[in-house]
Chain A
């Protein structure tokens, strides 16, 4: 058994950085803990659930997808190389690791996204079994668990009353990481602490079924009234992957950029001719819930939600998707009686 003292995560980060990994870890940033690139001296805090998901290290907020040199009215394509550094993500939550598996399907759906795949290939996800959960966590309602291993290449687990971590490799990438970290790992024995307990808050299958029959439900209107249309939920979500493509340029160079975007914003579907198929926030909320709980299931055989709860923690209007799902579940049960 490979053991690491609980206060030695920075040592683990340092040894991995020395071995050539870009290390991403939960780093304290004022009042928040965020997943960020670790640098010597930064404090790693694996306690709170990070405010951002791990998504941005595999699918950046903004990325150059094509590049051109410009000369008057003519232009010529230039290389736009993909940046895919060898990366170790420490203490990624199981809900985030599972989300990367959902995104694998999107980015390889008939057309393969080379950047996504290169970064996935170069990234080792070291999941942390959640020892604590908060009121917004609902992984167990969407097929996950605080100690789920889906998507993880290695697992960190608190042990001996949070005084140690047990580090276990789950595949080749995990083994390579353990080998690189051998200098800070001890062989020994420890008793794993129990994972957090996360109550099941709704029946996701019932939500999927309900969505199939309730495109016209008044629920969407109610949700739309409260929503500010700010888009934070989608940016914080580990599975939301909608993006925009925009050009930017100077006289001598132009880049084509892929930027995060979301169906919650009014301009998302606006046609240049003026028509907008989703003219109000109600239609956009419907899209958001339907995409996660119905369309994704239809197209990829799984949910586009892993229960991390970030959308609820960040929403200025306190619109929690888990609460919406619970209402749907209850409405369905009431209708069945």
Chain B
């Protein structure tokens, strides 16, 4: 007998793409069909997984691909430490370990017919990219889609090909921006910080849903703009990225107050965040 919850699936890397300096996307295919079936029975957008390289360790990040695409799992991560460096160094044809999906998800079934506004900064796009594709893969189910995405510089924008894709679609309103000084001579998007750009784009908030993901400072200044635009705190969602080890509510590492981010999250509404101790985040 082994401890079943810690046995990972073997995943083969079938595609690797460098998105931005130190940021990489991997497309992973389950080596074992039974693992794939089990994963997609449970997977909903917003959930995360633990990706690993034996000998280096495991690291938690979101699943960046939607459940509508059932052949693979994609993740996008920044190299920040030893484990992410080891995962970064893996190439197409090699394998990584994966266990999950864990955590809660965005309640997208309750958003049917409603306008959805996605707001992301930098490496905050991957956790909501899965939702964007999930929504776009189900035409007619949801209302109009607005995407506001900013990064420090043009080079720091992730999913550059997909941004071009989304920008060309009639069912998406895309606003891209870079921080002042981060633009290149041929930059066609906006220049400014995300909260400012959002305010300017002014998507109507009444009855709509907003997803915000990015650095804490961006979220902090974006929330008042959303409230001003008429979004209700219960309809504003974000994901928390605490340090996680077990993913299953037992190692005690991911608490914010009595909330276990790995179990009760990572998806929270602004309403819920207001009841969590800010000093613990």
- A residues touching B (Cβ–Cβ < 8 Å)? 65-66, 68, 70, 73-75, 77, 79-82, 84, 106-107, 109-115, 118, 215-216, 241-249, 254, 256, 258, 261, 263, 268-273, 277-278, 283, 287, 290-291, 294-295, 298-299
Given contacts A66-B7, A247-B52, contact A295 B245 (CB under 8 A): no
A114-B4 in contact (CB<8A):
yes
The main secondary structure of chain B at its interface with chain A is loop
B3-A245 in contact (CB<8A):
no
Which one, B2, B90, B94, B255, contacts A295 given CB within 8 A?
B255
- B residues touching A (Cβ–Cβ < 8 Å)? 1-8, 10, 52-58, 78, 80-81, 83-84, 90-91, 94-95, 97, 242-243, 245-246, 248-253, 255-258, 260, 263, 277, 279-281
Complex A-B, nearest 8 residue pairs according to Cβ-Cβ distance, in ascending order: A249-B55, A272-B81, A242-B252, A254-B55, A68-B54, A295-B258, A111-B248, A254-B54
Interfacial chain B residues near A243, Cβ < 8 Å: 245-246, 250-252
19 CB contacts below 8 A, A to B, read A65-B6, A66-B7, A73-B90, A77-B10, A82-B1, A109-B263, A110-B263, A215-B257, A243-B246, A249-B54, A263-B252, A269-B253, A270-B243, A272-B80, A272-B83, A277-B280, A290-B257, A294-B258, A295-B255
Interfacial chain B residues near A271, Cβ < 8 Å: 80, 242-243
CB distance from B177 to the nearest CB of A (A): 22
B251-A269 in contact (CB<8A):
no
Interfacial chain B residues near A216, Cβ < 8 Å: 279
B55-A68 in contact (CB<8A):
yes
* Complex: A271 Cα to B3 Cα, angstroms: 27
* Complex: A36 Cα to B2 Cα, angstroms: 25
Given contacts A82-B1, A298-B258, contact A111 B249 (CB under 8 A): yes
Which one, B53, B84, B250, contacts A107 given CB within 8 A?
B250
A109-B257 in contact (CB<8A):
no
Interfacial chain A residues near B90, Cβ < 8 Å: 73
A245-B245 in contact (CB<8A):
yes
Interfacial chain B residues near A118, Cβ < 8 Å: 1
